[in-house]
Amino acid sequence: MIPAGFEYHRPTDIASAIGILQQHGDEARVIAGGHSLIPMMKLRMADLAHLVDLQAIDDLRGIEIAGGEVRIAAMVTQHEMITHEGLGTALPILREAALQIADPQVRYLGTVGGNVANGDPGNDMPGLMQCVDARFELVGPEGTREVAARAFYEAAYFTARGDEEILTQIRIPLPAPGNGYAYEKQKRKIGDYATAAAAVLIGHGTASVAMTNLADTPIWSEDAGTALADGDVEGAVAAMLGAIDPMADNRGPVAFKKHVAGVILRRAIARAQQRAG
C-alpha cells in the first residue's frame, strides 16, 4: 500500500518532460493516469526517484478525426474515448473495447497512451491497436518517430519506446464504411484482465485479427487475417491458435486458455461478420 518516496514534476510542455527524463535517466518515469504505475509502486514492484506527471501538457489531450484517420492524444482517458461524440461512429470498436476495460473510476483516469505504452500483455488496447493497424508517435531527444503497433511490443513490459521517449499520439486509419468489427473479451469479473480477448475487423475482402493476454505480447496474426478475408473461419482460428503462447495462471491452465481463445475468436468473427455490410 505504501509507495517509496519520489520527487514530483509537473511540466507543461513535452520538451520539458523529455528534459527531465534525460536528466534523471532510469530513475525517472512518466505518470499518466497512474492506474498501472501507482498500484505497482504501492506493491514496491516499481521504485522510481522521479515521477514526471503529464497531466498539465495540453498537447497530450484531444481527439481529432480528419483526413481519413483518427488521432488520439496519449493523455485521452478511457472515459473520454467512450463519451466522445464522433469517435463512437468513426471507430466503434474502440468504444466497445474501452467499455470492457476496468471500471468507471479507473476509466476516468486511465489513459489510452498509458494503456498501450504499459507493455502488460493483460492490457486490452495493444491487441486492438494491432488489429486496426495503429501507429504510435514517440517523441524523444532526437525528435519524433512513428512505430507501428504491430512492431511495438517485444516482450512483457518491453516495447520499442526508448527510456527518454514519450508516447504522444496514436494514429489510426479509419476503416472503410461497412467494415464489421468486434472486441470480444472473456473475463472472470468486471475489471479483470482477459482470460482471452479478440479484436476483429472485416470487410471489403480484407480482415485483421489480434488477440489479448494469450502470450507475453498481444498477437496479431497475418495468416489468420488472410484466411478470414477468404471466408475461411476455421483456417483463421487454426492460424491464431498456432500463433498464441498462453501461460498457466489463476485464469486457467494452457489447454483451457487455448480452448477459450478459439471460442472467443469465433464469437468475435461471427459478430464482426454480422455487422459488416
What is the binding site for other proteins (CB under 8 A)?
Answer: 1, 3-8, 10, 31, 34-35, 38-39, 41-43, 51, 53, 55, 79, 102-106, 108-109, 190-191
Q: Which is nearer to other proteins, 150 or 187 (CB)?
A: 187
**CB 158, CB 217: distance < 8 Å:** no
Q: Which is nearer to other proteins, 105 or 144 (CB)?
A: 105
Least separation in angstroms between CB 157 and other proteins = 18
Least separation in angstroms between CB 55 and other proteins = 7
Q: Which is nearer to other proteins, 103 or 146 (CB)?
A: 103
**CB 35, CB 114: distance < 8 Å:** yes
Least separation in angstroms between CB 140 and other proteins = 24
Angle between helices 254-275 and 233-243 (to 10 degrees): 140
Q: Which is nearer to other proteins, 32 or 182 (CB)?
A: 32
How far is residue 59's CA from residue 215's CA, in Å, rounded to a whole number?
A: 34
How long, in residues, is the chain?
A: 277
DSSP states of 193-240 as a string?
Answer: PPSEEEEEEEETTEEEEEEESSSSS-EE-HHHHHHHHTT-HHHHHHHH
Least separation in angstroms between CB 174 and other proteins = 28
Q: Which is nearer to other proteins, 80 or 165 (CB)?
A: 80
Least separation in angstroms between CB 42 and other proteins = 6
Q: Per DSSP, which regions of 104-165 are E strands?
A: 135-140, 143-148, 153-155, 158-159
First-to-final CA distance of the chain: 50
